[in-house]
Amino acid sequence: MSSEDFKKGSRKRPKSYYQKCARAGKRKSRKHENILEPGIRGFLVTCNSHEKEAVRETYNILNEYADELYGPEQMGAEESWSDTNAYSDNDAGSEEDIEKSLEREVHEMKEQQKNPGKRRFQNVFTKAKNCIFIKTHLEDPCMVAHTILSDLAEKKVQKTRYALRLLPIAGTCKAYMKDIQAFSIDFLEKTFGTPFGVGLSYTNMVKIRNNNSVGRTSILTMLGKIIKEMNPLHRLNHSNPDIVVLVEVIGSVCCMSVVRDYFNLRKYNLLEVTKAHNEIENVKVLDSKLNSSDNESQTYENINETVKNDSQIEANQGTDRKLESNAAPQDEDAESQKEDKCYKQIDDIAQDTISTPEKEEM
pLDDT in tens, 168-181: 999 999 999 999 99
Domain that includes residue 172, residue range: 33-73+119-270
Number of C-beta neighbours around residue 258 at 10 A: 19
**Do β-strands 201-209 and 243-250 pair in parallel, antiparallel, or remain unpaired?**
parallel
Strands (E), the chain: 41-47, 121-124, 131-136, 163-169, 171-174, 201-209, 235-236, 243-250, 253-259
In this predicted model, what pLDDT tens digit does every residue of 75-125 receive, in sequence order? 554 444 444 454 444 444 566 678 777 777 777 666 655 555 578 999 999
Which residues share a beta bridge with 41?
136
Q: How confident is the model at residue 34 (pLDDT cuts 50, 70, 90)?
A: confident
Q: Which residues pair with 209 in a beta bridge?
A: 250
Q: What is the mean pLDDT of the chain?
A: 79
Q: Is residue 44 part of a domain?
A: yes
What's the whole-number mean pLDDT along residues 9-14? 73
Quickly list H helices, 76-195: 77-86, 94-114, 141-155, 177-192
CB neighbour list of residue 342: distance below 8 Å, 6 or more residues apart: none
Of residues 240, 254, 158, 163, the one with CA closest to residue 201: 240
Residue 234 within a domain: yes
215 inside domain: yes
Residue 248 CB-density burial (10 A; 0-12 exposed, 13-18 middle, 19+ buried): buried
Overall domain count for the chain: 1
Residue at 333 is within a domain? no
Q: Bigger pLDDT: 336 or 132? A: 132
Does 20 have pLDDT greater than 90? no
DSSP-based three-state secondary structure for 56 = helix
DSSP string, 134-168: EEE--S-HHHHHHHHHHHHHHHT----SSEEEEEE
- 1 pLDDT higher than 50: no
Question: For the segment 182-206, what is each residue's pLDDT rounded down to a tens digit?
Answer: 999 999 999 999 998 899 999 999 9
3-state secondary structure of 31: helix
Point out which residues pair with 35 in neighbouring strands: 125
49 — alpha (psi -120 to 50), left (phi > 0) or beta? left
Give percent of the chain with pLDDT exceeding 90. 51
Q: Is residue 9 part of a domain?
A: no
pLDDT of residue 80: 46
- Burial tier of 265 (Cβ tally within 10 Å: 0-12, 13-18, 19+): buried
Q: If you average pLDDT over residues 9-13, what whole number do you get? A: 71
User: Which residues, other chains included, contact 138 with Cβ-Cβ below 8 Å and sequence gap of 6+?
Assistant: 41, 66, 70, 120, 144
Residue 263 counted as domain residue: yes
Q: What is the pLDDT of residues 262-310, one digit of tens each?
A: 999 999 999 999 986 556 555 555 556 666 656 666 665 666 676 566 6
Assess if residue 140 is contained within a domain: yes
pLDDT for 91 = 45
Top-ranked range on mean pLDDT: pick from 14-18, 92-96, 328-332: 14-18
For residue 221, give the CATH number of its domain. 3.30.2130.30
Residue 195 located in a structural domain: yes
Give CA separation, 120 vs 60, 64, 67, 347, in Å: 12, 12, 10, 132
